[in-house]
Amino acid sequence: MHFTVKTASLIGVEASPIDAEVDIKPVPGDQNSTFHMVGLPDAAVRESRQRIRSAIANTGFAFPFARVTVNLAPADIRKGGSGFDLPVAVGILAASGTLGKNIERISDTLFYGELGLDGRVRPVRGALAVAVACARTGVRRLVVSEESVEEAAVVRGVDVFAAATLADVARLVRSIADRQSPMPVRLDPDALLDGLNAYSVDFSEVKGQASSKRALEVAAAGGHNLLMIGPPGSGKTMLAKRIPTILPPFTFEEALETSVVHSVAGLTNGGGLVRVRPFRAPHHTVSDAGLVGGGAPPRPGEVSLAHNGILFLDELPEFDRNALEVLRQPLEDGNVTISRAMMSLTFPARLMLVAALNPCPCGRWGDPTGQCRCSPHQIQRYVARISGPLLDRIDIQIEVPALQYAELSSTKAAEPSSAIRQRVVEARERQAHRFRSAGEPIRSNHLMSARLVREHCALDAASQSRLESAVKRMGLSARAYHRILKVARTMADLAGRDNIAASDVAEAVRYRSLDRSYWMS
């Protein structure tokens, strides 16, 4: 007998529909039963034969004494992972007649999970991506492990069922065949949103650094990349960790996009939606693949795990130069493309890059409270680890000075994140309205195309004169010129103005003044 069960395979951050075709043929009495799997299975899938055989037997069912052939179609896509255990086991039980009559009624049900030897259904990474694929392809029902059900049930339009054991799955299949399936697990998206955007840190805890806070507010309002330069202990990391608290609240769509990436990477732990905007801070020893994604099979890197959030690179010059250079594409395009011989995958990477570094190897250059021991040659070599093209892609570059004792000991309450966030949200709403009117599906000034820059960043004569002088004096590139216009546009949005003022241009230019000339002076 032949039977087909729907399942899925992860390819990048998407789940591709797979049909597990099971064919069972009787064998003569003088031959042994066989169990073959075809369709480009990897080692984990091939090993599943022993898990499936043991799980079926230990659940109380009889594994058929026959020639069992399983084809994972389409056969030209390599299949990986352990999520095929459950659908193949269901296919074998259905094809052997164990699950009863009218079994064809589960044709619009997708099964995804690993089996233990005792028949338990174990969680598999990517359950949320599989649920999204079900909604996209019109599959009505999804069966996953109990640990994965909350993660998968956030997707609208799919009935998600939890199963603890293979016996539970068999009972569920029989009830679906009898048109008496139990109630699926349902989660209210509005209730989920109520629990989002809760942070344990706040800008009210930051002493002093008024100019730095202003720059961070501008960066958050426009989604701009940010570089902070200052001596050790000046508060660079503390400031960076609080940027997510002033970004616009997570929408359900953004939370779902981010959660899919984390689900594929196996980082949700069955917890459903990612609750706050991600803040990823990889160590400077991270590899190219760890930063932008890769491996076999390719998985999301830190830039994709920071999607809709912050990627913080502390001690920027200590990162491998090759690893930093691969950041150019995601910073420009908002995604990462990884090409392999057999496939090309695209991972989302729409993020804010926040980087921090010391002004010199010892960290005391320009610090009035400390004596720098670095020679000019050492400082130049230290700074040269960051390429000009990468600096060009960082819109805002600021100096974070060391705090004075009076600032540290002050008891004056600082402005809380909620107040800053309100201004950021209002600025983002102005941007969103402008882009919707232009028919552009973007959310911040940072992602404006050259056409939108021409249309919405017009300057008056005074502003043009000031910007022309800065470009000539600082030797700025065309990319830096456009980024100055974008930052100036964000400042006008924060101020509630339709037009860019000369003061906006002056402040935006000042945020580019910490280019290489900062260390050469």
Residue closest to 349 by CA, chosen among 10, 12, 11: 12
What are the pLDDT digits (tens) for 390-420? 888 899 999 888 887 777 777 787 889 999 9
The answer to whether position 282 is within a domain reads no
Are the beta carbons of 131 and 112 closer than 8 angstroms?
no
Domain assignment present for 170: yes
pLDDT tens digits, one per residue of 295-354: 777 889 999 999 999 999 999 999 998 889 889 888 888 888 887 766 788 899 999 999
Residue 137 has pLDDT above 90, yes or no: yes
Please tell me the total count of domains within the chain: 1
Inside any domain, residue 26: yes
- Give the β-pairing of 226-229 and 114-115: unpaired
Q: Are the C-beta atoms of residues 299 and 334 closer than 8 Å to each other?
A: no
> How far is it, in rounded angstroms, from Cα 77 to Cα 98?
30
Q: What 3-state class would DSSP assign to 56?
A: helix
Contact assessment for residue 83 and residue 124, using Cβ atoms and an 8 Å cutoff: yes
Rounded to whole angstroms, how far apart are CA atoms 340 and 319? 25
Q: How far is CA 94 from the centre of its chain?
A: 38
Residue 407's CB: how many other CB atoms inside 10 A?
Answer: 14
Q: Decide: 77 and 40 in contact? Cβ < 8 Å.
A: yes
Instruction: Tell me whether residue 111 is in a domain.
Output: yes
**Checking DSSP bridges between strand 396-399 and strand 226-229, what pairing results, if any?**
parallel
pLDDT score at 250: 84
**Beta-carbon contacts of residue 80 (< 8 Å; ≥ 6 apart):** 9, 10, 42, 44, 45, 297
Among residues 116, 84, 120, the alpha carbon closest in space to that of 5 is found at: 84
502 in a structural domain: no
pLDDT, mean of residues 372-376: 84
Query: Amino acid identity of 48?
Result: S
Q: Which domain holds residue 88?
A: 2-187
Average of pLDDT values for 8-24? 92
Residue range 103-136, pLDDT digits in tens: 999 999 999 999 999 999 999 999 999 999 999 9
pLDDT at 370: 64
Question: What is the per-residue pLDDT for 491?
Answer: 93
Instruction: Report the CATH number that the domain containing residue 176 is assigned in CATH.
Output: 3.30.230.10
In a domain, 63, yes or no: yes
Is residue 429 in a domain?
Answer: no
| 3-state class (DSSP) for residue 133 | helix
Query: What's the pLDDT at 453?
Result: 85
pLDDT class for 516, splitting at 50, 70, 90?
very low
Within its chain, how far is the Cα of 279 from the centroid? Answer: 10
Q: Considering only 30-44, 105-119, 293-307, 439-453, which range has the smallest mean pLDDT?
A: 439-453
Cα separation, 361 vs 373, in Å, equals 9
- Residues 291, 303: contact at Cβ < 8 Å? yes
Q: Which residue has the higher pLDDT, 519 or 446?
A: 446
Q: Compute the mean pLDDT over every residue in the chain, rounded to the nearest whole number.
A: 87
The Cα-based distances of 217 to 191, 227, 230 in angstroms read: 29, 13, 18
User: For the ranges 58-72, 81-95, 323-337, which has the lowest average pLDDT?
Assistant: 323-337
Coil, strand, or helix at residue 369?
coil
pLDDT tens by residue, 253-274: 888 899 999 999 888 876 678 8
Q: Is 161 contained in some domain?
A: yes
